[in-house]
Amino acid sequence: MTAPRVDVHQHVWPAPFVAALRARTRAPRLVGWTLYLDGEPPYEVRPEDHSIARRAELAAQDGIDLALVSLSSPLGIETLPAADAAGLLDAYHEGVLALPHPFGAWAAASIDDPDPAALRAVLGAGCVGLQLPATELADADGYARCAPLLDELDRVGAPLFVHPGPAAADPSAPPWWPAMVSYVAQMHTAWFAWHEYGAPRLPGLRVGFAMLAGLAPLHADRMAARGGPATIPSAGVFVDTSSYGPEIVEAVAAGLGRDRVVLGSDRPYAAPLLFGDERDEPVRRRNPARWFRTSHE
């Protein structure tokens, strides 16, 4: 059976989730279509970006058979106090699990009060794996907090997706600053933190990093010069292509391995990468299939 063409990284807000954001009186909140977050300027959301019918049309045009939707971790929902996050997480899961073809979903979870039973339930309902914010997987303490969730993923053989988390607050920064500075630094840190704190404890867990892990894999020479471990990258590690073009993706693939790169667009914020040649097949089909197969085969 031919593997589907997968985009592992998209965002779309189904109606229950939009309603939950609009019901809030503090960040993260949605007023009309203006999004308010701590640490970022107000953002004018385009309603058409969250039209399920329109996004399904775009997936077909992009040559995508399965578009995996995730809760955008920069919203800061996973790190809210558990009681505050519960309604938003429930609305997210209710909405994404009801999305029609070609959509699938990543699970989300509270980090304030990690609940492996709740994660088990949404994985059983159809979520492909769990997304966690890079800010919570940046050091030993973060891995200790997230351990109940990571252990559950490892137990059932489901993958982990690491996505940028909330940006550091800097009201003087220009609007593009969080995406270009905070998010990149978060992903770069999370890449090395996984190899230091995650992989030794969970060697069978398959993990993917958004946005080419902030280009961290390109630093292999500097790592070697400074005496870093030769175990980077570890087995079962993947990166997605979100926001980068063919030249940068090629450079990462050459160093990391072409079987480690998967298509992730971050749509609606960027379009899926299209090589237009034989490289599209592994990035869209074969490599995602390797990432999503059971960790304990």
**pLDDT tens readout for residues 155-205:** 999 999 999 999 887 778 898 888 999 999 999 999 999 999 999 999 999
Distance of alpha carbon 197 from alpha carbon 202, whole angstroms: 9
Q: Could you tell me which residues come within 8 angstroms of residue 80 by beta carbon, excluding any fewer than 6 positions away?
A: 88, 110, 112
Span 212-241, mean pLDDT?
A: 91
Q: Is 181 left (phi over 0), alpha (psi -120 to 50) or beta?
A: alpha
Task: Report the candidate in 128, 138, 189, 126 with the shortest Cα–Cα distance to residue 161.
Answer: 128
**pLDDT tens readout for residues 51-88:** 999 999 999 999 999 999 999 999 999 999 999 999 99
Strand partners, 133: 163
Task: Report the candidate in 279, 186, 243, 284 with the shortest Cα–Cα distance to residue 11.
Answer: 243
% of the chain exceeding 70 in pLDDT: 98
The yes-or-no verdict on residue 282 having pLDDT over 80 is: yes
The yes-or-no verdict on residue 297 having pLDDT over 60 is: no
Q: Mean of the per-residue pLDDT values for the chain?
A: 94
Scan for tokens 């994404």, then name that residue: 96
Distance of alpha carbon 37 from alpha carbon 247, whole angstroms: 33
CB atoms within 10 A of CB 63: 13
pTM, rounded to two decimals? 0.95
Q: Can you give the pLDDT at residue 296?
A: 36
